[in-house]
A and B are shown apart, each in its own frame.
Chain A
Amino acid sequence: MDQLLLNTGFPILSVIIFLPLAGALLLLFTKNDTICKNIALLVTSLVAIISIWLIFGFDKSSAQFQFGEHYSWINTLNINYTIGVDGISILLILMTTFIMPFCVLASWSYIKTRIQAFMICMLIMETAMIGVFAALDFVLFYVLWEAMLIPMYMLIAIWGGPRKIYASIKFFLYTLSGSILLLVGIIWLYTANNYSFYIPDMMWQDYSLTAQVYLFLAFFLAFAIKVPMFPFHTWLPAAHVEAPTAGSVVLASILLKMGTYGFLRFALPITPEATVIMMPYVLWLSIAGIIYGGFTALAQSDMKKLIAYSSVGHMGFVTLGIFVLNIDGVEGAILQMVNHGITTGALFLCVGMIYERTHSRELNTARGLGKYMPIFITFLTFFSLSSFGFPGTNSFVGEFMILAGAFEFDTSLGRFPYLALAAIPGAVLAAAYMLRMLQKIIWGGTDNPDQSWISDLNLREIVTLAPFLFFVFWIGLGPQPFLDLIHTSVVQLLDQFHAHQATTVAAANVLLN
């Protein structure tokens, strides 16, 4: 338990985890739609405000899990309610708490039916999502990871677009069948670790190589589907396109990060040797995802699909950064997770705003909006620039660090810069599809549809988008405070990883001699 710094004062983590759930219970007894919306907004904002305290109370110089809480849950199986935050998870938790109020705001007029149920689903999602990032007990993690499927399924299946049934079932089946073997892996780890589900206890143990490879494959299937990595990405465009705006934002900004978070939290520390063995395959799959996502996005006429495929590319960068296994790469990957959450979330909000006006997601019906929606276009332009990593915006920093990491990439055979070179076309493609979309929406051509009846953003919508823009530039121009939060944990993770690697290699050499 020495990796866990117990929190003796105000149980802040538990509060931000369970406050949304309490809000959801409260909503059960609220009949009025407006009151429902207000309660949901109030609760999510309150959670966001409370979570700011995490930044100030967080000790940046320590790689321990902080704000820890530990209660016994199921004694018989030694399952505990153990939570804590370290540098890897803190930014993701903050991102979750900050994005949720805007998801509620974005649904204000978008969702017209069964508002009460919608808000309940959103609040339950928030509890599960924060919980997943904070869980330090593998069963707690798995329970929340799976429990999330029900509200997310409902979000897509009830409030989704025309093909919502297909999309929601595909999402559910894909994610569930991916994580089923993870469950077996968890139980195996439990039996191999003196019947403990405590995650830090499972890290850096000497499991046999065969066991590690199987475990890694179980992890990989679960997390790669969630990320989603090429070729496990096919559920994503369907789910994104059909989900309501808030659902898309939650999906893109937060759910996808759970996959990459899983790699960092579980795959690297629990199966280090297998990670090294599998690394080349994962890296090339990442490159394939970057290129494939870029080309596919270039061919889309549906804006949501375009952004969904761009996500496949961006998340390819993140897995690339993680698996080059050096500090620049991993820190860049974590930062890029946050960036992608901000930028893609904002882009989905933008598309949602167009959809509310034109009731279409087709690029062609949105041609020439620039003339009538100047404020909107300003936002859209900045987010698009951010999406393809324009200098000065957040994604530039992230992608730059990841590419720097990829250039530094060291294998036992020497440096291997081709990896980074292979990823470069992805960055170019991103510019191509984003600028193409921008060009059409702002100017279009001579045959633009009549858009004169369309009104520009109202105050609520501006309030929804402005904070995203703020973070785009803050991270873009001054990323240091964010990197400071994650630095110590990443250094410790990689140090231990390479140290463990060295001892295993040494042991193997002794055996050989």
Chain B
Amino acid sequence: MIIAIISLILLHYLKRPMGLIKVSPEWVRIFNGGMIAAGVLWIVIGFNIPIISDLARILSFILIGLIVYVTLKTEDLQHRKGMVYAWLPIIGVEIIQALVEIISESFYKRYETYFEAAGVFAFIWAIAMWVNNSKQRKALELEKLKAMQREKEFQITESLKTQLERQVAQRTKELTNQKNELQHALKDLQAAQNQLIHAEKMASLGELTAGIAHEIQNPLNFVNNFSDVSTELLTELKEELEAGNKEDAMEILEDVIQNLGKIHHHGKRADSIVKGMLLHSRSSTGQKELTDINALADEYLRLSYHGLRAKDKSFTADFKLEEDPSLEKMNVVPGDLGRVLLNLINNGFYAAGEKKKELAEKGNTEFLPKVTVSIKKVDSGVEIRVRDNGKGIPEDIKAKIFQPFFTTKPTGKGTGLGLSMSYDIVTKGHNGEINVISEPEEFTEFEIKIPNQ
């Protein structure tokens, strides 16, 4: 009977999970079956029916034997080995006791005290084993808990890591997007800059158009007038020759020859103006060519003056070119350098014109705006000075004048690119220098130094 109970207890524990170790559902089914069998055997033994109960007792021995055997031999149940060892002495004592009782009751009776003693020892053993087992189990569980903790920590670290990786990936994506956007913006800006440079060029060309028209018209008038007058002279020449006045005829001939020279001269003049205009409008190829700086300055000084004059009828100013005849042709980009001169000269006329307006408002009409361009050959190259007697540049903005988009002119009058482009052309295009000195209310002088290339 005790064996059947022990079987129940063992099976009960076997199917229950120990710590984290769980037995498979198949084993649970087998153990349930075993429990039913043990229960049945317990009841049958309890009824104490002769022969059947004895048979049941033997069956219960076989059952427990099976349980012990299976538990010790099966890999999945190794964790319950300790429990089986704890119960083993009791089982052994019970079985021997029962077997002895069956075989020889008298023998059993005689040694009953020994058997009881053995039962007590087996019980003490069981308790000792149980204490030991539970200690081990606790240690094991502690270990498991630690492992679980570590696992948890690992998982947290893992999730943190993936989160971080995700964040990094997201940031990287954002940064890449930003970088792309910035590159895009930079490209747009560069395109805009090119357009602005083009617009600035076109704007200055627009300002020039009137001046150019005037400058071309003048030589063309001379060409027409001198050819007309030459025709008249030739008719007179014919008359004089017919009349036999050789002296007068010679005089007329001299005039005609002179006139043809003038026609040629003014034709050339118109030609060079058109060429200059083309140079100005053409996008700069950066091609340097031997250029007469004196002539270039003269040309742009006149173009600037007449351009402004054409735009504003009330505009009057004096201008002067101080040439240096000793200066030989220099290797420069004529269109670019012309643009610089045009810019500086236009600014000069503008500043001086503004001063005239201000003075006129105060009743002083004596002031005459003046722009002087002087060319001076130096050992290293050439120095070009563009000086106006205008309002001057206040000290606080002197540093800014070469910055792009900086302008003191009212909206629509200046792009703010003239001086910055001039600066680039002189410094980058010609390895030169551009400096400014100014006395407020007195004068402004830009000095360009261009070295021999």
**Real binding pair:** no
Chain B positions within 8 Å of A, measured between CB atoms, are none
